[in-house]
Structure 1
């Protein structure tokens, strides 16, 4: 660690301790906010110290749950720098990296609008992009604005970074179409799908030609098996999929996790198709 970064880190940690002693907060994001103002490049330097690099998780819905699932999978074998408190803006990421110390791998939940800036600085070895729903984007404007930011980010990524995308989301699934290092996941069980998308759902229109999509299966909102009858744009081939899904009311769910290495039955202590999506995404990233 450089002398400058060492001094900045000490100052940020001291500010957090003072905040806790004064009872003005838990000090979760304050160190990162201070570090970000003192030296934005400190985030780059802190991320570079992680021996195994970092991975990021972002989505409008489910990113906290998905990241916790990834932590369950990777935690027993790797010491993680994980922002488990859910502080997922740049300042929260900075605080997590500041506290990483002897961590081996950064596991970072990142706000969908903050992701391009965080990715530019952290240079993650893998990025999980889960979904884009309009109802969570009021503070940032339209869904397309965030999608454009993600597209620009992906275009600037090196081939050494792996992109993990939810192929069932038209905006997200298309991001990895021209990248070799992409893992596509989704659901493949029409028994749990509607034959048509709800009228008010997002991403109803083809992202290439604007024609309404046809849905062979619509699972959650606009997530499903889609195709455009006009230009042919369709869901990419799934590499990781959930099949034979069983939903047990408000208690739990289970599914067959299908991967290139084989299949395994997965039981969740969480209900609903949306948590099946979270679990398949976590498995794909891990």
Structure 2
């Protein structure tokens, strides 16, 4: 335990009450969960509220470009074996949303918190975490996100000397460089499918060498650390060399990697791998991701992919051709307004799939698919796209706000 802090101050209690009231009003008005606006109001009234709410918790922070929400959910399930857990399960991962989530955790022992990459250092300073999980770093939201090496440098400087146990992916050079300033790191061989953001050494700028699964810089000697945990096929290898089977209802290699990192985090809190991995089987879908829903006589599997690394992982888990695929891309504020990232995605991996394109930026995507020599149809909306597909399963891949639009349309 982090040690019981004093009960919340009167000011903090007023802030929590006001935040919950505003959130309830927002929900009643049909404007979403209200967690972000509620958290903003609460933090305005007590700027130190996040730290106060975390005071009685053993906190784990989870940050990455891809896989944060799913890994947070898997860790939360695993830690329930050791005690009550509070978590921002819906993915509101900036300080306001995190504050709202923790406000509901007065009786919890553990806090498992997904944190946006840009806010990780500040949230870590406020919450004094026992564990920080760092999964990957790649390009995302090009119009406003820091270049990946700058983000890694921010982590490296901000986490230097942290008392937290850092569980980090040994296969991502940017993550390794960021985590290496911490005195207590547990390395996990979780794999790295997308390598295009890590060809130059984050330490000296030299060219990274990548023989097999290894990597190193030929100029400064920066190299892959020896992992103590590893994903090996359908098993997690623990530091003692024991292999524990992964049984997930979530699809794909990326989720097995998330499970391996989650098992390493759970072990920090004394939950054995077998118990942790068995509990992870409970997770069927995460904020609508991977759900299969009935719509117009078809089975739609909803898949979220927000950036090139995410699309690459998603292509690896869809049904083989000729399974139809619907792609939807928006470029609203939450997505990032720059769609040039579409040119970094290898859409030739969809060859043989009938493709329908929808979303605000369907024409941007259509141009990209044309250049990739793919067969596709541009549709007005999801309804038209589904009608063009034969009965059976349809893989639906969408970026962030497009995914929310789809969930609303299918009633998920």
Aligned partner of 1:10 in structure 2 is 17
Are 2:264 and 1:284 equivalent residues in the alignment?
yes
Change (3 A) 1:128 1:187: closer
State the distance in 2 between where 1:26 and 1:187 align: 33
State the distance in 2 between where 1:61 and 1:44 align: 26
Are 2:215 and 1:226 equivalent residues in the alignment?
yes
1:44 to 40, 47, 51: 51
CA contact (8 A) 1:166 1:185 kept: yes
State the distance in 1 between where 2:51 and 2:125 align: 9
- Mapping 1:85-234, distance limit 5 Å: 85-136=90-141, 138-157=143-162, 159=163, 161-177=164-180, 179-187=182-190, 201-217=196-212, 224-234=213-223
Aligned length: 259
Look at both structures and tell me which one has the larger radius of gyration over its CA atoms: 2
Shift of residue 37, structure 1, vs aligned partner: 1.7
Aligned partner of 2:231 in structure 1 is 242
Question: What do residues 224-255 of structure 1 show as CA deviations (whole Å, max 9, x unaligned)?
Answer: 52012222211001011112x1xxxxxxxx22
Change (3 A) 1:140 1:208: same
Shift of residue 261, structure 1, vs aligned partner: 6.8
The gaps in structure 2 that reach 5 residues or longer are 1-7, 267-412
Aligned alpha-carbon RMSD (Å): 2.1
CA contact (8 A) 1:58 1:109 kept: yes
Change (3 A) 1:260 1:180: farther
CA contact (8 A) 1:61 1:131 kept: yes
Change (3 A) 1:178 1:4: closer
Are 2:276 and 1:273 equivalent residues in the alignment?
no
Shift of residue 274, structure 1, vs aligned partner: 1.9
Larger RCO, structure (CA 8 Å, separation 6 or more): 1
Shift of residue 136, structure 1, vs aligned partner: 4.9
State the distance in 1 between where 2:136 and 2:67 align: 9
CA contact (8 A) 1:90 1:118 kept: yes
Between stretches 27-36 and 269-278, larger displacement belongs to 269-278
Shift of residue 84, structure 1, vs aligned partner: 0.6
The gaps in structure 1 that reach 5 residues or longer are 218-223, 246-253
Shift of residue 156, structure 1, vs aligned partner: 4.8
Change (3 A) 1:116 1:103: same
CA contact (8 A) 2:86 2:102 kept: yes
SS of the aligned residue for 1:264 comes to: strand
Change (3 A) 1:179 1:147: closer
Question: What do residues 6-50 of structure 1 show as CA deviations (whole Å, max 9, x unaligned)?
Answer: 122111112122222333332222221111222211111111133
Aligned partner of 1:251 in structure 2 is none
Change (3 A) 1:156 1:31: farther
Aligned partner of 2:70 in structure 1 is 65
CA contact (8 A) 1:206 1:228 kept: yes
Could you tell me the TM-score, scaled by structure 2's length?
Answer: 0.59
Shift of residue 137, structure 1, vs aligned partner: 5.3
State the distance in 2 between where 1:256 and 1:281 align: 9
Could you tell me the TM-score, scaled by structure 1's length?
Answer: 0.83
